[in-house]
Amino acid sequence: MDFKEAAKLGSYISKDYAEDLFRLLATYSSISASEASSRLDLHVKTVQDFLEAMFDLDILEREEVYEKKRPYYRYTLKVKKISLELDLQYLFPSETKDEKTNLRIRERMNAGARFTTARSDQYISNIAIWTGKGRERTERRINLSIPQGQFLYHLPFPSAECQSIKAIMQKAGLNSAHTSEILDIVDALIEFGVIETG
Amino acid sequence: MYFIRKLKSQQLGIELIALLFFLLAIIIVFLTWGPRAGWGIIAIVEFFVVIMHMNMYFKTKNTSFLWLSFAFIIIVIFAVQISIFGMTKTDPEYIPSVIAAIAAFLIIAIIIVNKKSKWRTREMLELAAMPVDQTGNGFTERPFSCGIIDATTNEIESFARFISKNMIAMTYRENDKIIFSFPSSWLKQNGLKRGYKGDSWISVSTRGDVSVFISRKDYLCYQDTFSFDQLCTNLALLFTGFFELYKKGEGIRIMDKLNALRLNPITE
């Protein structure tokens, strides 16, 4: 199950009527949205959305029925157990991170970011960046972890030569255990236009 | 020493306004209530100047401020004397007072001309920019980390006292580091405002980590948009060079280097 499906399932499962609806589905061999809504005293649209979502997630199966009136769907519970298994493996940085540390970067000229230096030691505690335009312009503050702050403290100035992420980390006294979080903040700051590559 | 100025000429700000305001007040008092009232106002103002210089002495331990306080006390006494008893040219009792006042003005002049009570912010900025020709702006509000100096805590403390005493930078102790701030505002230079926010500074931690920060205001004082990282690097090198000289017991050379620029002792 991917994140999108898990989110959908999670949001519907969390409804207070979800258990009652599943009880009806388990009790009836098949049930329509109208029957279920009248049985539970819910709006038909609410039940319809729930049943359709479960169908999309392959938990229910549906059959189109033609009676005297216009066609409608009857839903049948397909499974007796729902497992929510989410694979987080792809979120971990890939092996290419070693290559990414060779990326040469520096602070972008006139980036407009405000760096706040920690009083206690040599690191940046947070960055304030202005995002949006006109009336939508807002200040976005990013609080940094200490290794990230130490890294940004040693980031080359806009007028200086670009340096590789690896070299900056070395200068800041950071070991490879912090590479993931450093790459994360570098990516974010490239996106915000605070850091440029060269 | 001949050198190409990198800083814009100094603009007189609050000092000039304060001086003009003071002169205007004196003139008004002289014209409205007579010379004795005018001398009374001078005495009051100069009394505050005495307090200001005493405050600066306690802040920097620079003995020139004691001399200045002494000189201004004489001026205060002289002004009070005229204010209370008046003064006639023929009265011989005033001769010692006039001689003392002249001596006080001489003391003040000697201290000013020899730059004993002058903050060296502009000298430091000029020296930092001296080898920089490359332009390209690059200003950032981040401090510049410039490595580590080999120093013990005692050496750094002692150097801080030297720097403060010689008006090179104002020192602030903060956690495990000392901030050497270069005050550029008149209020800070005269001890009327504390803190280094908005000023350029150099910090030296007890481990010897050196960081440099040049404020936007100071950067805008330069005539050109000099390469910011080079300015920071040079300021750090200059300062660490001063530290090395101090460690060797050659602190006087630091002052020679600053005096060699021959900046105007009053307007700069």
- Share the mean pLDDT of chain B: 87
Same domain for A72 and A119? Answer: no
Q: Which residues of B touch A149 (CB under 8 A)?
A: none
pLDDT tens string B82-92 = 888 877 666 67
**Structure tokens of B188?**
């800070």
pLDDT at A46 over 90: yes
CA dihedral sign, ordered A138, A143, A147, A153: positive
Half-sphere exposure of B167 (CA within 13 A, CB side): 27
CA distances from B143 to A181, B35, B179 (A): 22, 54, 12
The reply to whether A68 and A104 lie within a common domain is no
Contact indicator for A9, A1 with CB cutoff of 8 Å = yes
Write down the pLDDT at residue B98: 86
- A119/A175 same-domain check: yes
* In-domain check, residue A82: no
Please write the tens of the pLDDT for every residue from A90-143. 777 665 567 788 889 998 888 888 888 887 778 888 898 887 777 778 888 888
Question: In this predicted model, what pLDDT tens digit does every residue of B212-224 receive, in sequence order?
Answer: 999 988 888 888 8
* Contact present, B261 and B123 (Cβ < 8 Å): yes
Contacts of B227 in chain A (CB under 8 A): 159
Same domain, A66 and A136: no
- Distance CA(B234)–CA(B15), nearest Å, equals 30
How many whole angstroms from its chain centre is CA B109? Answer: 15
How far, CA to CA in Å, does B219 sit from each of A62, A72, B58, B141, B171?
72, 75, 30, 11, 21
The whole-number average pLDDT for the span B227-244 is 90
Burial class (CB in 10 A: 0-12, 13-18, 19+), B47: middle
In this prediction, residues B107-129 reach a mean pLDDT of 90
Whether residues A21 and A104 share a domain: the answer is no
Decide if B175 and A157 are in contact by the 8 Å CB cutoff: no
B139 contacts in A (CB within 8 Å)? Answer: 158
Is B19 or B39 the better-scoring residue by pLDDT?
B39
Same-domain check for residues A44 and A101:
no
Q: How far are the Cα atoms of A91, B32, B162, B179, B246 from residue B159, in angstroms, in the given order? A: 52, 52, 5, 12, 7
Backbone angles phi, psi at B179, to 5 degrees: -100, 125
Shared domain for A189 and A100, answered yes or no, is: yes
CB contact under 8 Å between B205 and A122, yes or no, is yes
Give the one of B137, B175, B205 whose C-beta lies nearest to A109's C-beta: B137
Chain A positions in Cβ-Cβ contact with residue B141 (cut-off 8 Å) = 114-115
Cβ of A153 and B142 within 8 Å?
yes
Residues B25-47 have a mean pLDDT of 88
Q: Is residue A192 included in any domain, yes or no? A: yes
CA proximity to A197, closest of A172, A154, A169, A161: A161
Interchain pair A158, B145: CB under 8 A:
no
Assess whether pLDDT exceeds 90 at residue B71.
yes
Q: Are residues A116 and A145 in the same domain?
A: yes
Which residues have C-beta within 8 Å of that of residue B50, sequence separation ≥ 6?
B69, B72, B73, B76
Instruction: Report the residue from B174, B211, B229 with minimal CB separation from A160.
Output: B229
Q: What are phi and psi of A84, to 5 degrees?
A: -105, 100
pLDDT at position B4 is 79
**What's the confidence (pLDDT) of residue A1?**
79
Distance CA B101, CA B72 (A): 9
State the pLDDT confidence band at B95, using cuts at 50, 70 and 90: confident
Helix (H) or strand (E) run with residue A27 in it? helix A18-27
Domain count within chain A: 2
* pLDDT per residue as tens digits for the range B174-196: 878 899 999 888 888 888 888 88
Assign B118 a pLDDT band (cuts: 50, 70, 90). Answer: confident
Q: Which of A13, A46, A77 is the last residue of a domain?
A: A77
Give the rounded percent of residues in chain B with a pLDDT score beyond 90: 31
Residues A188 and A98 in one domain: yes
Tokens read off for B213: 């920060």
Mean pLDDT to the nearest integer, B240-253: 90
Q: Which residues of B touch A154 (CB under 8 A)?
A: 145
CATH number at residue A167: 3.90.930
Gap between the terminal Cα atoms of chain B? 17
Neighbour tally for A26: CB within 10 Å: 9
pLDDT in tens, B133-172: 878 777 888 888 888 888 888 899 999 999 999 999 999 9
pLDDT tens digits, A159-173 = 888 999 999 999 888
When the pLDDT of each residue in chain A is averaged and rounded to a whole number, the result is 87
Indicate the range of A83-87, B102-106, B137-141 predicted with least confidence: B137-141
Query: Are A122 and A153 in contact, with CB atoms under 8 Å apart?
Result: yes
| A142 and A166 both lie in a single domain | yes
Helix (H), strand (E) at residue A197: strand A195-197
Q: Over 80: is that where the pLDDT of A147 sits? A: yes
Residues A108 and A191 in one domain: yes
Q: What are residue B77's phi and psi, to 5 degrees?
A: -60, -45
Partner-chain contact A157 B138, CB within 8 Å: yes
Does residue A88 sit within a domain? no
Q: Rounded to an integer, what distance in angstroms lies between the CA atom of residue A167 and that of residue B36?
A: 72
Enclosing domain of residue A56 = 3-77
pLDDT at res. A23: 92
H or E segment at B181? strand B177-182
Chain B nearest-CA residue for A112? B140
For residue B230, give how far its alpha carbon lies from the nearest alpha carbon of chain A (Å): 8
Q: Write the CA distances from A62 to A51, A53, A59, A177, B85, integer angstroms.
A: 9, 12, 10, 51, 113
Q: Where are the domains of chain B?
A: 34-113, 121-259
Under a CB-based contact definition with an 8 Å cutoff, are residues A117 and A152 in contact? no
Are B121 and B170 in contact, with CB atoms under 8 Å apart? Answer: no
What was the pLDDT predicted at B246?
A: 92
Which of B206, B214, B217 has its CA nearest to residue B235?
Answer: B214
Would an 8 Å CB–CB cutoff place A117 in contact with chain B?
Answer: yes
Q: pTM of the predicted model, to two decimals?
A: 0.74
Q: Between residues B9 and A43, which one has the greater pLDDT?
A: A43
- Which chain A residue's Cα is nearest to B140? A157
Residues A55, A29, single domain; the answer is yes
Helix axes A18-27, A44-56, angle to 10 degrees: 70
